[in-house]
Amino acid sequence: MKGINMIQLAKELGLSVSTVSKALGDSYEISASTKKRVMELAKQYNYKPNPFASSLRKKKSKQIAVIIPDIVNNFFALAVDGIESVTMNKNYDTFIYLTHESLEREKAVLEHLESGLTSGLIISVCTGKEGYGHFQQFYENTKLPIVFFDRVPDLLQFPKVISNNYESTFEATTRLIKAGVKRPVFLATEEPLYTSIERRRGFQAALISQQITFSDDMIVECSDDMDKNYSIIRKLLSSKKRPDGFFASIEKYAITTYQVCKELKINIPRDLKIIGMTNLRTAALLNPSLSTLAQPAFEMGREAASLLIKMIEKKSYAAANDIIVLNNELTIRESI
Amino acid sequence: MKGINMIQLAKELGLSVSTVSKALGDSYEISASTKKRVMELAKQYNYKPNPFASSLRKKKSKQIAVIIPDIVNNFFALAVDGIESVTMNKNYDTFIYLTHESLEREKAVLEHLESGLTSGLIISVCTGKEGYGHFQQFYENTKLPIVFFDRVPDLLQFPKVISNNYESTFEATTRLIKAGVKRPVFLATEEPLYTSIERRRGFQAALISQQITFSDDMIVECSDDMDKNYSIIRKLLSSKKRPDGFFASIEKYAITTYQVCKELKINIPRDLKIIGMTNLRTAALLNPSLSTLAQPAFEMGREAASLLIKMIEKKSYAAANDIIVLNNELTIRESI
């Protein structure tokens, strides 16, 4: 007779497979009487658990949730790769939620996760005006560990993994100006995220140190909408007193700039010098090759996941005020 | 007095939050006696469920798993975006597992998912020699619906979402030859996936139709390892009788080719013409701009998720032999 499997056991017992699995794994979620029923039938049928799956289960599989704005962006794709490199080894399952810069969606995901689906959260926030009360509320309701990375809210009690945005933007902007830029523009996100505030500060500080007077029109807010974004950059580069240097704080702003320059026949770097914050693998192959400020995306994901799992497994771990700061990397190529 | 939340209810009852949540949602997984205990205490404390979370829960949240080789690849990132656009609206949670072309990892994920963590699977297989017995075994053990996309196994009983690889590779190769290529090479994956077999077939058929004699060295197997891959392409382009045309069947093969050509000062398109299968957003901005055969990645993800959810929700839905075929899009730019 062929051995019985877990599905058949569950059927005969009138239980869900998940309950049978948990009962066989001696889970605290299952009552003693149910466990007894399951074990007895398993013994009667000489049920042999799949050794591989069983070894995975023994390590207690847990779930974490990753909430990010976008996946079609090399930064976030690499960060998820880094997160997964840790969760895979630690036998955690990874949920992924994309907010697409919608605060409503971000809130809905959090409310949904209040049901106890996961053991912890890794979050990069969306651009929103309304502050971060929903994260605090979520934490008060669930006490689940949360690690923020990259786009972090300015809330003291949560651990964060960030990169040195202020210093590295200062450095990049300085390089732009030293390359001859007189009217630099910072292409910014619509809403002032903490990360972008740090970058803006770095930009402004570099202007001061290089004796360039800052004016408000040197910060131009772009859009998440590709078409709107395109119009903004095209208008900017068609204006009479057009800027001669860009610091593009988001990957897609740099790509759109290249598209617009190609169309308007604006020569990079002669007419416009540009440094883009991006992890684009093709940066060196663009025409001309793009100077980049790259965040250590994979490492940031890896650090965030390691920290979160530490918090989940050692419940006493006092990580609330941990801030891990990694370094961005500036690579100068033909675009400046 | 402040209202009680689900966490506090769970604590007082000595149950997990998940059990309380399911009991309040009248889940079939929870026994009648537990439900009664939960409901009574909830009533006693005048427990008010969070209206948003509750409306989400009422739609019955379910989990699906997405198993893909890689996320740092525009095709898969876009496909996940497409999958999520459906699961988000249908209130499914999405697990993500990356196999990194490891068959061992793919098998381990499947074994792990046998525990009943999800309601269905969306899979793009890794390159492996050993066939697809593990998928059949998984299906026999669990009867869970599975939809394969893009890299699909040649197993009749599973529904698939693919693109017209044979026809579109035929078309692309024909364009290469008509542009003057005499010694075309197909840069292939190491292991013959069904998708790449279709592409190879399209490549060979185009040679025949253009009266070019096919020889085995016109198919060059690349590696998933970036460094090995680099050596293979560099060696190929340094050889005396070097090819004058590439069909790069994977995004990274095209990128590496550009890198090698830049180093060896091989002029694209004069010395080497190339078409790459990729969804790279920067293809038009490369130096020279890259001709691409792009798969409808977002749409493929969306179709796969829609089909899977149909299978989960209408259990009788006879989708086993469904094959959805979408069209790839050829865009000719400066590289040929």
Closest residue in B to A280 (Cα) is B282
**Domain limits for position B73:** 63-163+297-328
- What was the pLDDT predicted at B175? 98
B335 in any annotated domain: no
pLDDT band with cut points at 50, 70 and 90 for residue A41: confident
Helices (H), ranges, B239-336: 251-264, 297-313
Cα distance from B64 to chain A (closest Cα, Å)?
9
Q: What is the DSSP letter of B281?
A: T
Closest residue in A to B34 (Cα) is A31
CA distance B203 to A329: 41
A230 in any annotated domain: yes
A319 and A282 in a common domain? no
Cα distance from A203 to chain B (closest Cα, Å)?
26
* CB atoms A81 and B97 under 8 Å: no
3-class SS of residue A319? coil
The partner residues of B93 in beta bridges, in order of sequence, read B63
- What was the pLDDT predicted at A320? 60
Cα distance from B220 to chain A (closest Cα, Å)?
23
B179 in any annotated domain: yes
Q: Which of B285, B298, B333, B334 to mutate to test the interface with A (most CBs of A within 10 A)?
A: B285
Task: Please name the member of A16, A71, A285 whose beta carbon is closest to the beta carbon of B258.
Answer: A285
Closest residue in A to B23 (Cα) is A115
HEC letters along A80-131: HHHHHHHHHHCCEEEEEEECCCCHHHHHHHHHHHCCCCCCEEEECCCCCCCC
CATH number at residue B37: 1.10.260
Sheet architecture: strand order including A245-248: A219-221, A184-188, A245-248, A273-277, A291-294, A329-331
B121 and B31 in a common domain? no
List chain B residues with CB under 8 Å of A284: 259, 262
- What was the pLDDT predicted at A56? 44
Task: Please name the member of B5, B72, B287 whose beta carbon is closest to the beta carbon of A78.
Answer: B72
Q: A92 — contact with chain B (CB < 8 Å)?
A: no
* CB atoms B112 and A56 under 8 Å: yes
Chain B 272-311, CB below 8 Å of chain A: which residues?
Answer: 280-282, 284-289
B301 and B248 in a common domain? no
Q: Which of B280, B282, B300 to mutate to test the interface with A (most CBs of A within 10 A)?
A: B282
pLDDT band with cut points at 50, 70 and 90 for residue B58: very low
B171 and B149 in a common domain? no
Chain B 139-198, CB below 8 Å of chain A: which residues?
Answer: 141-143
3-class SS of residue B291? strand
pTM: 0.79
* CB atoms A61 and B117 under 8 Å: yes
Averaged confidence pLDDT in chain B: 88
- What was the pLDDT predicted at A51? 38
Instruction: Report percent pLDDT > 70 for chain B.
Output: 90
The partner residues of B257 in beta bridges, in order of sequence, read none
Positive/negative CA dihedral, A92, A64, A165, A154: negative
Region B140-164: mean pLDDT is: 91
A68 and A37 in a common domain? no
Cα distance from A334 to chain B (closest Cα, Å)?
12
pLDDT band with cut points at 50, 70 and 90 for residue A316: low
Q: A6 — contact with chain B (CB < 8 Å)?
A: yes
Give the pair of three-digit tokens for residue A101. 């810069």
**Residues B270, B297: contact at Cβ < 8 Å?**
no
A78 and A197 in a common domain? no
- What was the pLDDT predicted at B129? 65
Chain B 206-225, CB below 8 Å of chain A: which residues?
Answer: none
Q: B13 — contact with chain A (CB < 8 Å)?
A: no
Residue among B73, B224, A257, B101 at smallest CA distance from B81: B73
* CB atoms A259 and B143 under 8 Å: no
**Residues B6, B21: contact at Cβ < 8 Å?**
yes
List chain B residues with CB under 8 Å of A52: 107-108, 111
Closest residue in B to A50 (Cα) is B111
CATH number at residue A51: 1.10.260.40
* CB atoms A61 and B18 under 8 Å: no
Task: Please name the member of A19, A282, A288 whose beta carbon is closest to the beta carbon of B255.
Answer: A282
3-class SS of residue B298? helix
Q: Exposed, middle or buried: residue A321 (CB in 10 Å: 0-12, 13-18, 19+)? A: exposed
How many Å separate Cα A177 from the centre of its chain? 30
B285 and B185 in a common domain? yes
B209 and B106 in a common domain? no
For residue A191, the surrounding DSSP H or E stretch is: none
Res. B182: pLDDT tops 90: yes
Cα distance from A33 to chain B (closest Cα, Å)?
12
* CB atoms A255 and B281 under 8 Å: yes
- What was the pLDDT predicted at B191? 72
* CB atoms B285 and A97 under 8 Å: no
CATH number at residue A288: 3.40.50.2300
Note the pLDDT tens digit of each residue in A51-97.
334 434 444 568 999 999 999 888 999 999 999 999 998 989 999 99
A71 and A141 in a common domain? yes
Q: What is the DSSP letter of A10?
A: H
The interface pTM score, or ipTM, of the predicted complex is: 0.78
Q: A334 — contact with chain B (CB < 8 Å)?
A: no
A147 and A219 in a common domain? no
B226 in any annotated domain: yes
CA distance A140 to A131: 16
CA distance A198 to B305: 39
Positive/negative CA dihedral, B195, B196, B202, B208: negative
**Residues A96, A69: contact at Cβ < 8 Å?**
no
Cα distance from B271 to chain A (closest Cα, Å)?
17
HSE-CB at B201 with a 13 A cutoff on CA atoms is 11
What is the amino acid identity at position A262? Answer: K
- What was the pLDDT predicted at B57? 45
Q: Which of B48, B281, B333, B334 to mutate to test the interface with A (most CBs of A within 10 A)?
A: B281
CA distance A210 to A219: 17
Q: Which of B101, B112, B119, B122 to mutate to test the interface with A (most CBs of A within 10 A)?
A: B112
The partner residues of A147 in beta bridges, in order of sequence, read A122
3-class SS of residue A239? coil
Task: Please name the member of A255, A258, A281 whose beta carbon is closest to the beta carbon of B255.
Answer: A281
Residue among A276, A220, A297 at smallest CA distance from B282: A276
- What was the pLDDT predicted at B278? 92
- What was the pLDDT predicted at A281? 86
CB pairs under 8 A between A and B: 172
* CB atoms A29 and B16 under 8 Å: yes
CA distance B125 to B128: 8
For residue B267, the surrounding DSSP H or E stretch is: none
The partner residues of A98 in beta bridges, in order of sequence, read A68
Note the pLDDT tens digit of each residue in A234-273.
999 999 989 999 999 988 899 999 999 999 999 999 999 9
User: What's the residue count for chain B?
Assistant: 336
B216 in any annotated domain: yes
A334 in any annotated domain: no
Q: B107 — contact with chain A (CB < 8 Å)?
A: yes
A285 and A142 in a common domain? no
Chain B 60-79, CB below 8 Å of chain A: which residues?
Answer: 61, 63, 71-74, 77-78
Which residues neighbour B38 within 8 Å (Cβ) at sequence distance 6 or greater? B9, B13, B15, B19, B20, B23, B24, B30
pLDDT band with cut points at 50, 70 and 90 for residue B48: low
pLDDT band with cut points at 50, 70 and 90 for residue A20: confident
B137 in any annotated domain: yes
How many independent structural domains does chain A possess?
Answer: 3
CA distance A147 to A126: 15
Cα distance from A85 to chain B (closest Cα, Å)?
9
A133 and A70 in a common domain? yes
B142 in any annotated domain: yes
The CA–CA distances, whole Å, from A211 to A173, A178, A198, A206, B79 equal 12, 11, 20, 9, 47
pLDDT band with cut points at 50, 70 and 90 for residue B28: low
- What was the pLDDT predicted at B10? 82
CA distance A189 to A171: 20
